[in-house]
Structure 1
Amino acid sequence: MKVLLVDDHMIIRQSLLYILQSQFPPVLCFEARTGEECTTMLKKENFDLLILDLTLPDTDGIALTEWIMQRNPHQKILFFSTSPTEVFAKRLYQMGIMGYINKQAPISEISNALYAIIRKGEKYVNEEFKAMLTQSDEPEHDIAPLERLSKRELSIAQLLANGKSIEAIAATLNVETTTIRTHKARIFQKLEITSFPEFLQKARQYKLI
């Protein structure tokens, strides 16, 4: 089995490497620090499983997942991230990922997720996300504002919240700056805000950062 670990923190990659090699032998692990390194390796190699961080130095997990799934709709992906489940997990599961684990989860939960995906070929859905699914029928006016954003808008909102400029986001997503400005305007409209300080306040309130 071949696994690609994508995270810009060496300690995270090494921790996952230890868990995989000690609990799921034989496994061959590769490492990438950025989205660019990840896509470069995927163009050269096939992997049974990708373990991705949601926030990378040069891209975000949603945009990277879109690229991966367009290239290989059957690619197995497990997200291992500090970003809150309630903001991102539902979108990512809809895109076809196998699981979403918070980096603060105990080793036992990480092992359970890996066992479900690697040994059983099943998606892993933890109790937190199961509880979220039972609340999916709530009225539209009760939905958190971030739920109203499209996948691309959520990606851009995350990058903006983490200090990326319009120009940097355009370069990351390979689009024109005018496109990013249009998305930003729509984000502000959907969040019912008019200024960037208000946006940052909303981002913190709904755990986007």
Structure 2
Amino acid sequence: MNILIVDDHAVIRQTLGMIINTEFPNADCSSVETGRACLDVLQTQTFDLVILDLNLPDIDGVKIAGLIRNTYPEQMILVFSMNPSSLFAAELYRLGVMGYLNKQADISEIRKALNTILRKKIPYKNAHYKTADNSGPTRKITANPFTKLSQRELEVARLLAKGKSMEEIASHLCIGASTIRTYKARVFEKLEVASLYDFLTKVKLYELEVG
């Protein structure tokens, strides 16, 4: 059994690898840190499962999932991310992703998801994912304006919602303050808000998880 872990955090890759090898002793776990590396390795190797983070440093994780499913329709994918499921679950379900685990999930849930997908070959529908099956393939996407944001814009939005200044956000993301201002303007434009008050109102209305 071959499994590919796509995540830019070494601790996550190592932890998932240990959990997988405890549950599936003969599994061969490979890992990459970027979306581009994921697509490259899939050109030369086959995997029983791809475990995919959505917050990758180069390419939007949802886009990566779509590219994988379009190119390799039989490839099973499990998303493992800190992003709130309400933003992306419906779209990922539509793409055929087998499950959506939050990184705060305990080990027993991770094991359950792995067994459901790898042994039973069926989607793992926990509380983060099962509503996607009942709400229609695109309804949540159009209803929640935060789905319009790119991964970087979403990061900026979360930090804004936590009350961080432009300089603090720039320092946290290692990006120039002027670039952060550009991202803020894009966020406000996509959310159709004109002030910080309106922005925070939408954050509360759509229950954006800010960490």
Q: Which residue of 2 aligns with 1:63?
A: 63
Distance (Å, rounded) in 2 between the aligned partners of 1:113 and 1:89? 16
Whether the 8 Å contact between 2:78 and 2:99 is mirrored in structure 1 is: yes
**TM-score, with length taken from structure 2:** 0.72
Shift of 1:49: 0.5
Aligned partner of 1:90: which letter? Answer: A
Aligned partner of 2:154: which letter? Answer: A
Structure 2 regions of 5+ residues with no counterpart? 157-182
Aligned partner of 1:103: which letter? Answer: K
Q: What are the equivalent positions in structure 2 for 1:60-209 lying under 5 Å apart?
A: 60-130=60-130, 143-146=143-146, 149=147, 153-154=148-149, 156=150, 158-163=151-156, 188=189, 191-194=191-194, 202=202, 206-207=207-208
Aligned partner of 1:35: which letter? Answer: G
Please report the RMSD computed on the Cα atoms of aligned residues, expressed in angstroms.
3.1
Shift of 1:52: 0.7
Whether the 8 Å contact between 2:99 and 2:129 is mirrored in structure 1 is: no
3-state SS of the aligned residue for 2:129?
A: helix
3-state SS of the aligned residue for 2:26?
A: coil
Structure 1 regions of 5+ residues with no counterpart? 164-180
Aligned partner of 2:189: which letter? Answer: F
Distance (Å, rounded) in 2 between the aligned partners of 1:48 and 1:108? 21
Whether the 8 Å contact between 2:98 and 2:124 is mirrored in structure 1 is: yes
- The total of aligned residue pairs comes to 179
1:31 aligns with 2:24: no
Aligned partner of 2:155: which letter? Answer: N
**TM-score, with length taken from structure 1:** 0.73
Aligned partner of 1:162: which letter? Answer: E
3-state SS of the aligned residue for 1:62?
A: helix
Aligned partner of 1:188: which letter? Answer: E
Identity of aligned residues (%): 40
Whether the 8 Å contact between 1:7 and 1:33 is mirrored in structure 2 is: yes
Whether the 8 Å contact between 2:100 and 2:128 is mirrored in structure 1 is: no
Shift of 1:192: 2.5
Q: Which residue of 2 aligns with 1:53?
A: 53
